[in-house]
Amino acid sequence: MSSDAGDAARTAPGSAAALRIANQRRVLAVLLDRGTQPATQADITRETGLAAGTVSTIVRELAAAGVVSTVAGSGRRGTTVRLARGAGLVAGVDFGHNHVAVALGDMSGEVLGEDRRTLEPGHPYAEGLQAASDMLDTLLAAAGAERSELRNIGMGLPAPLSDGVVMSSAIEPGWVGVNARDEASRVFGVDVLIENDANLGALAEHRHGHGRGHANVVFVKVSSGVGAGLILDNQLFRGTAGTSGEIGHLTLNDQGPLCRCGSRGCLEAYAASGTALTMMHDQMPEAGVDEIIEAAKQGNVSALRVFEDAGLHLGWGLATVTNLLDPGVILVGGDMSHAGELLLESARLGLRRHVLAGTSTTPVLVAELGDRASMVGALVLAIDATDLLPA
Amino acid sequence: MSSDAGDAARTAPGSAAALRIANQRRVLAVLLDRGTQPATQADITRETGLAAGTVSTIVRELAAAGVVSTVAGSGRRGTTVRLARGAGLVAGVDFGHNHVAVALGDMSGEVLGEDRRTLEPGHPYAEGLQAASDMLDTLLAAAGAERSELRNIGMGLPAPLSDGVVMSSAIEPGWVGVNARDEASRVFGVDVLIENDANLGALAEHRHGHGRGHANVVFVKVSSGVGAGLILDNQLFRGTAGTSGEIGHLTLNDQGPLCRCGSRGCLEAYAASGTALTMMHDQMPEAGVDEIIEAAKQGNVSALRVFEDAGLHLGWGLATVTNLLDPGVILVGGDMSHAGELLLESARLGLRRHVLAGTSTTPVLVAELGDRASMVGALVLAIDATDLLPA
């Protein structure tokens, strides 16, 4: 939802008009929290603490503006309310090393359609944006919607970002130095919010995955790179310059293998998918991560060892995060998480081995939303950035 | 300041009475933020956005209740206002391995008196509390104040805490398993808030030290133990069970020296004061940290190396924190920080060596409040917990 600053521009703070807007926001907050589950007016009255008459008035105003839809129930208080299509639509876009995924959603968080395509690694950014734009057009057409209905688009990139600019990325070389926010806004014709893909995964898991109900959630994406998104005290924590969560470059061994970042013995050098491919190259020169996982499941001892070693190092990094942040749950996503317990069992051992004894029993699980996490997080980002208050 | 829940108990939310309380809180928030610097009514009007007449009314009400004092200036808007002695007093208590420090303060943050005494390492907790209580009586008497004026006491301990209970501590064995909050409340006869000492240092530096103006502050206390306090997005971050900031037990080398925590190669095993004392024991068997610092300053190459090595390892730990949290500033306190640049120069080198290149130029400084940091943080904690609204 939008800021106090916007409200202050409309009304004198502390005035009756400001109070009315604040009360509308309370009602909208309940509906956003409910998502696709409709709330009765009695629910809204209870959850906001507002008077029943005030809630009725606000619901009537919001329905007249098309922001909510109502379905009559038993009596006025039994009428159910949910965010309506008239509140606008959002899209979520997630770029990876060799894919782009796009989802179209409404303000209740309902996904109206989604698609995923393979991209060439190292694709120029303009090519990636064009592919996403084409996919979005197809999704809009299928939903019978216009681009003008889009209020905001959330977009994820596997790179550190500062004020919309891609600062560096070995994973997305075609995007480095690009103001991704401005370029995407131009191509899509609507405001775009840019976020690191691991941050989006954390947002998604906190709202719709295994992170629900936890105030402190660490989401770790283990793919070509290793990065973390942090939900701390129920908020996405981005850091001072937007570069928090660089778990992949924790030094585990300062005499270890060189990492592409210029340091040595980084977690990423032990646990990223590229390391698994390199280790298995002689045995399985053409294999991708999923083929190596399959080989491990068939009992290939080398493949098993690849995930065991990756997991032990991942767990060491998770112990570091746990010592510093004491999260309620740690969720692992990305290509390497397809290995499931083959990776996580040794990750838990590594965690236990390196965490301060007696201070934590943080669970480590595979992310619930799987490969969709960052895309769903991009939808959440777009919804959160939209001001639903009628003008 | 106190909670919405308290206000909800007094008034219906969204009502005119709730609005009046909310406006009083806005005025009090400005005064708390000003601290010992008085605000004019014009300042308050500007900073709250409230109407001048509303501010006048609220100031008159708060002055009548004794919560604020006013000094007439040029015209009504020129009248200066500050929090008054009638708002009550607070105390801050800081326990360390072999000391206790106590400060008496008012709600403006002014320290009315402070004292520090040496304690036996391993003292029973009751003995420590009695010493603090005696010191507090002396400070109250010197200020011409009664215990009944105390609204809250903040208290710091160098240990992980959960719901007031000291979970484990090699530094304070006499406190382990004790519900420090309840015991201290009983001895002091007033509500006590308990907090880890490094967390208090972070609070103090954020409010009154080199952390001012930074949203993300890491305070690292390097003494008998090594612990960090984290201010993230301007709030103290405690973690899920209250055990965040355990930077001392990051594993830097899993084949390194055994740490008292049961792990190997922890940062604490390289950088804590005990390691410096052990390394220098043959040369300076009776020396404390300050004597070793003095020897280093005189050119003793072994003593210089002790701080260089501690600093390199400390910097490695700081790089880990920086990769994960991207803080705006890192402040180092505790006994070892008395070494100043002898420690920090190599810490900065260690940080640069292990941080992800190009993502951070986080400054590393000695904490501004020095050995007073945790005590001042305890005062801040007590002030923040006090509801200044007249009943």
A241, A358, A360 member nearest B326 (Cβ) = A241
Give how far B352 is from chain A: nearest CA, Å: 10
B261, B326, B356 member nearest A240 (Cβ) = B326
DSSP β-ladder status, A150-157 and A89-95: parallel
Mean pLDDT of A341-351: 97
Is residue B361 within 8 A of residue B266, CB to CB? The reply is: no
Contact criterion met (CB < 8 Å) for A324 and B243: no
d(CA B311, CA B270): 9
Tens digit of each residue's pLDDT (9 = 90 or more) over A370-390: 999 999 999 999 999 999 988
* Secondary structure (3-state) at A226: strand
Closest-CA residue in chain B for A168?
A: B358
Residue A163, Ramachandran bin (φ over 0: left; ψ between -120 and 50: alpha; else beta) = left
Residue A1 has pLDDT above 80, yes or no: no
Give how far A217 is from chain B: nearest CA, Å: 10
Domain B210-367: state its class. alpha beta
pLDDT at A239: 94
Q: What are the structure tokens assigned to A53, written together?
A: 């008459």
Check if B88-201+374-384 and B210-367 are the same fold. yes
pLDDT at B162: 80
Is residue A345 within 8 A of residue A314, CB to CB? The reply is: no
pLDDT at B20: 85
Residue B164 has pLDDT above 50, yes or no: yes
d(CA A33, CA A384): 11
Burial class (CB in 10 A: 0-12, 13-18, 19+), A299: exposed
* Contact list, B231 vs chain A (CB under 8 Å): none
Local confidence band at B268 (pLDDT 50, 70, 90 cut-offs): very high
B48, B243, B250 member nearest A360 (Cβ) = B243
Mean pLDDT of B227-250: 94
- Give the residue extent of every domain in chain B: 4-86, 88-201+374-384, 210-367
Contact criterion met (CB < 8 Å) for B320 and A324: yes
Tens digit of each residue's pLDDT (9 = 90 or more) over A199-222: 999 999 999 999 999 999 999 999
pLDDT at B163: 83
Burial class (CB in 10 A: 0-12, 13-18, 19+), A72: exposed
Mean pLDDT of A147-172: 87
Closest-CA residue in chain B for A253?
A: B253
Phi, psi torsion values for B178, nearest 5 degrees = -80, 140
Mean pLDDT of B174-188: 93
pLDDT at B89: 97
* Contact list, A359 vs chain B (CB under 8 Å): 160, 167-168, 241, 243, 246
Contact criterion met (CB < 8 Å) for B328 and A160: no
d(CA A359, CA A369): 28
∠ Cα A366 A369 A370 (to 5°): 60
CATH topology of domain B4-86: Arc Repressor Mutant, subunit A (1.10.10)
Tens digit of each residue's pLDDT (9 = 90 or more) over B110-145: 999 999 999 988 889 999 999 999 999 999 999 999
* Contact list, B12 vs chain A (CB under 8 Å): 49, 51
Higher pLDDT, B171 or B96: B96
Contact criterion met (CB < 8 Å) for A321 and B324: yes
Contact criterion met (CB < 8 Å) for A19 and B14: yes
Contact criterion met (CB < 8 Å) for B22 and A8: no
Give how far A19 is from chain B: nearest CA, Å: 7
Q: Look up residue A281 and give its DSSP letter.
A: T
Report the complex ipTM. Answer: 0.89
Distance of CA A144 to the CA centre of its chain: 26
Give how far A39 is from chain B: nearest CA, Å: 20
pLDDT at B249: 95
Q: Torsion over CA of B363, B366, B369 and B375, rounded to 10 degrees?
A: 100
B242, B244, B360 member nearest A243 (Cβ) = B360
Listed range (A184-193, B8-17, B78-87) with the worst mean pLDDT: B8-17
Phi, psi torsion values for B189, nearest 5 degrees = 70, 25
Local confidence band at B1 (pLDDT 50, 70, 90 cut-offs): very low
Please list, in sequence order, all residues whose beta carbon lies within 8 angstroms of the beta carbon of residue B103, skipping any fewer than 6 positions away: B91, B92, B111, B113, B114, B115, B139, B372, B375, B376, B378, B379
Higher pLDDT, B5 or A198: A198
Give how far B8 is from chain A: nearest CA, Å: 9
Tens digit of each residue's pLDDT (9 = 90 or more) over A225-248: 999 999 999 999 999 988 899 999
d(CA B181, CA B364): 33
Residue B380 has pLDDT above 70, yes or no: yes
Burial class (CB in 10 A: 0-12, 13-18, 19+), B276: buried
* Contact list, A228 vs chain B (CB under 8 Å): 324
* Contact list, B23 vs chain A (CB under 8 Å): 14
Residue B3 has pLDDT above 50, yes or no: no
Local confidence band at A3 (pLDDT 50, 70, 90 cut-offs): very low
Per DSSP, which regions of chain B are E strands? 39-40, 68-73, 75-83, 89-95, 99-106, 111-118, 150-157, 161-162, 165-166, 192-196, 217-222, 226-232, 235-236, 329-333, 364-366
∠ Cα A292 A298 A303 (to 5°): 35
Q: What are the structure tokens assigned to A99, written together?
A: 């894919």
Give how far A261 is from chain B: nearest CA, Å: 7
pLDDT at B261: 87
Local confidence band at A276 (pLDDT 50, 70, 90 cut-offs): very high
Counting one residue from A and one from B, how many pairs have CB atoms under 8 Å apart?
169
The CATH classification number of B88-201+374-384 equals 3.30.420.40
Tens digit of each residue's pLDDT (9 = 90 or more) over A36-91: 888 999 999 999 989 999 999 999 999 999 999 998 877 766 789 999 989 999 99
pLDDT at B36: 85
Which residue out of B356, B360, B361 would a mutagenesis test of the A interface target, given it has the greatest number of A Cβ atoms within 10 Å? B356
On average, the pLDDT of chain A sits at: 92
A230, A247, A323 member nearest B246 (Cβ) = A323
Amino acid at B303: A
- Residue count (chain A): 391
* Contact list, B233 vs chain A (CB under 8 Å): 232, 235, 237
pLDDT at B10: 62
Is residue A128 within 8 A of residue A190, CB to CB? The reply is: no
pLDDT at B6: 55
Please list, in sequence order, all residues whose beta carbon lies within 8 angstroms of the beta carbon of residue B114, skipping any fewer than 6 positions away: B101, B102, B103, B104, B139, B372, B375
Beta bridge pairs of residue A83: A68
Residue B7 has pLDDT above 90, yes or no: no
